[in-house]
Amino acid sequence: MAGVSVLVLTYNEELNLPGCLASAAWSDDLHVVDSGSTDATVEIARRFGAKVYVHPFENFSAQRNWALRNAAFRRETLKLLGHQADTGLPARWRGTPAERRRWLKHLHLRLPFRGLRKFLYLFLWRGGILDGVPGLVFCVLMAAQEFMLAGELRALKRASAATS
């Protein structure tokens, strides 16, 4: 996700800002709009390599809109970290590699076209195409198994919903 700009709105967030910016360390385009903090918020933001802007606070919407108009974002995609710096990123976007993998597996089970995604993953991403016909056959069989599993899970969900 290095192609995402991150915007954080702050006011006296000296205690929360380090954790918030650490959770967004994957981005190479951090922006902090401060509302005139009287603590070390601005220094902390600069220490994390964020571009710091100071703008007097009117309300949250005005502050965010000012930032969107005046900050020099390098990316088209923007992630606004909540109303304050104490928000940070959702746990599924940080954490250990095992936690991220578990979240991706959970997401995979909920998205449509599981069989097709399994085939494309195995055949293109994992290199099944390099094995020629045997690789193609293996990937097709794995995708068919995934398709049948999805059908069985749907049938089980329908049966359990009908009984309750």
pLDDT digits (tens, 9 = 90+) for 20-49: 888 888 888 889 999 888 999 999 999 999
The 3-state secondary structure of 47-115, one letter per residue: HCCCEEEECCCCCHHHHHHHHHHHCCCCCCEEEECCCCCCCCCCHHHCCCHHHHHHHHHHHHHHCCCHH
| This model's pTM is above 0.95 | no
Domain range summary for the chain, segments of one domain joined by + = 4-93, 111-163
Backbone angles phi, psi at 11, to 5 degrees: -160, 115
pLDDT tens for 10-26 read 888 888 888 888 888 88
Q: Architecture of domain 4-93 in CATH?
A: Alpha-Beta Complex (3.90)
* pLDDT tens digit sequence for 98-116: 777 788 888 888 888 989 9
Q: What is the pLDDT of residue 135?
A: 94
How far apart, in Å, are the Cα atoms of 47 and each of 17, 27, 30, 44, 162?
11, 15, 11, 5, 58
